[in-house]
Chains A and B, each alone.
Chain A
Amino acid sequence: MPISRGFRRRHAEPPAGTALPPGQYLTRDFPVLSAGPTPDVPLDRWQLSLTGAVDPERHWDWEAFRALPSETFTVDIHCVTSWSKLGTTWEGVSVDTLLDGAEPLGGYLVADCYGDYTTNLSLEDVTDGKAWVAFAYDGEPLEPEHGGPARLLVPHLYLWKSAKWLRSIVITEENEPGFWETLGYHDHGDPWLEQRYG
């Protein structure tokens, strides 16, 4: 391995037993990365939809969404820009709950957002307890800059897959690359395999 002369660790070592994906470092802050302005989405105009190749399609206003059973969960998150944050606590509705009783007619989805961001995922990556639509972070309503009113959270993939300001989950038959996926980032984005770039 080529050495950068004189470079050394300055940050404390992560606590024993902590595993970080390759190339990641720990942060205690919560950096923000977005491609454009933070959309202003008032709750009385907010709607979440499950659309596309799914039967039936579904729509929830804020009240209906918040009436769904929710879960509090603690996960590690990993951003492609190299920071990881461990033990973050969120509250949200499992994607399994949103899909319960609806039949997907395709194996993929596009997360479509207020502000027009998109990202693509396979259904497999968001079902069986692997993903949520989160509306609270650390016991507080999710801040707009972190994706509020509600964002997708898929913690086992790089955070660009956890689309902020989620508007609809569009089920698709084919895999349809989203915003960053068409701009040079990896289609899948598994941090443990360091799938940063396509």
Chain B
Amino acid sequence: MRETPSAATLVLGVEGWPGHRAGQHMDLRLTAEDGYQAQRSYSISSAPEDGGPAITVERLEDGEVSPYLVDDAQAGDFVEVRGPVGGWFVWDASQGGPLFLVAGGSGLAPLMAMLRHRAHAGSDVETTLLVSARRPEDLLYASELNALDGVRVERTFTRAAPEGWTGYARRVDRDMLAEVAPAPGARVYVCGPTGFVEGVAENLVALGHDPSRIRTERFGATGG
């Protein structure tokens, strides 16, 4: 399913899927007709309650796997999967909050799994999402974000904002985090490109957040 001009969500039918926790990722391995193989990790964007896993993939222009998954793969095509993987960048409603989620670009995917899980679980944990996108058309799950119940959603657009936009229109910086972030003590999850995550985490620590409460997941420039 197309999410934005450069990203798509793929729902994977996995026989015997053991279930996952919100925030985990999985490995995909693709095999070409000539036997060439490539393997990549992708965050799961669906909630555990949704059943089988879905991943949201952003096309990297010089990538090898992501252009295939975003543009070429069709329903019924085959990929090998392994997972779920990762036991750190996860949130379960029973862990409570307050919850502060900070997403850069397609780093929203694993955080969306947490938000979807929160809704399924009927959790009323105080939750704030700060999401940075280049342009309005690049914002993942835009309509679903509008409909989230009991979640404060703050958006910032770094290249082009919607017409008449009065919200944030710059990269996430310390002033923005000071305005948006809950008080220190909140559980913080930050996901996005390396530079984004480095900046957000460093600024949150400077604002008094305990480094041990900040969990990060970084997408390298070469996710492929």
Task: Point out the residues of chain A lying under 8 angstroms from B224, CB to CB.
Answer: 25, 82
Q: Does B158 contact A (CB under 8 A)?
A: no
Q: Does A31 contact B (CB under 8 A)?
A: yes
Task: Point out the residues of chain A lying under 8 angstroms from B31, CB to CB.
Answer: 1-4, 7
Q: Does A106 contact B (CB under 8 A)?
A: no
Partner of B218, one of A25, A31, A184: A31
Partner of B32, one of A8, A25, A115, A145: A8
Interchain nearest-CB distance for B61 vs A (Å): 11
Task: Point out the residues of chain B lying under 8 angstroms from A43, CB to CB.
Answer: none
Partner of B201, one of A1, A23, A37, A116: A37
Task: Point out the residues of chain B lying under 8 angstroms from A182, CB to CB.
Answer: 87
Q: Does B29 contact A (CB under 8 A)?
A: yes
The B contact surface, by secondary structure, is mixed
Q: Does A74 contact B (CB under 8 A)?
A: no
Tell me if B38 and A25 are in contact (CB < 8 A): yes
Q: Does B89 contact A (CB under 8 A)?
A: yes
Task: Point out the residues of chain B lying under 8 angstroms from A184, CB to CB.
Answer: 85-87
A39 CA / B40 CA spacing, docked (Å): 28
Partner of B39, one of A5, A23, A179: A23
A168 CA / B35 CA spacing, docked (Å): 45
Interchain nearest-CB distance for A20 vs B (Å): 11
Task: Point out the residues of chain B lying under 8 angstroms from A82, CB to CB.
Answer: 27, 39-41, 224
Task: Point out the residues of chain B lying under 8 angstroms from A2, CB to CB.
Answer: 31, 78, 80
User: How many B residues, CB 8 Å from partner?
Assistant: 48
Q: Does B73 contact A (CB under 8 A)?
A: yes
Q: Which of B47-55, B101-109, B163-171, B204-212 contacts A (4 or more CB under 8 A)?
A: B204-212
Tell me if B85 and A197 are in contact (CB < 8 A): yes
Tell me if B218 and A4 are in contact (CB < 8 A): no
Q: Give me 27 A-to-B residue pairs in the complex whose CB atoms sit less than 8 angstroms apart, sorted by A's number.
A: A1-B31, A2-B31, A4-B32, A5-B74, A5-B77, A6-B73, A6-B77, A7-B32, A7-B38, A9-B32, A9-B36, A10-B64, A24-B39, A25-B64, A31-B222, A32-B198, A32-B220, A37-B201, A37-B211, A37-B214, A81-B41, A82-B40, A83-B220, A179-B88, A184-B85, A184-B86, A197-B85
Interchain nearest-CB distance for B209 vs A (Å): 9
A136 CA / B164 CA spacing, docked (Å): 49
A7 in contact with B89 given A32-B220, A34-B218, A36-B215 (CB within 8 Å): no
Q: Does A140 contact B (CB under 8 A)?
A: no
A10 in contact with B67 given A34-B216, A116-B212, A145-B194 (CB within 8 Å): yes
Task: Point out the residues of chain A lying under 8 angstroms from B201, CB to CB.
Answer: 36-38
A25 CA / B66 CA spacing, docked (Å): 14
A32 CA / B198 CA spacing, docked (Å): 10
Q: Does A11 contact B (CB under 8 A)?
A: yes
Q: Does B79 contact A (CB under 8 A)?
A: yes
Q: Does B30 contact A (CB under 8 A)?
A: yes
List CB contacts (< 8 Å) of B169-224 with chain A. 194, 198, 201-202, 204-205, 211-212, 214-216, 218, 220-222, 224
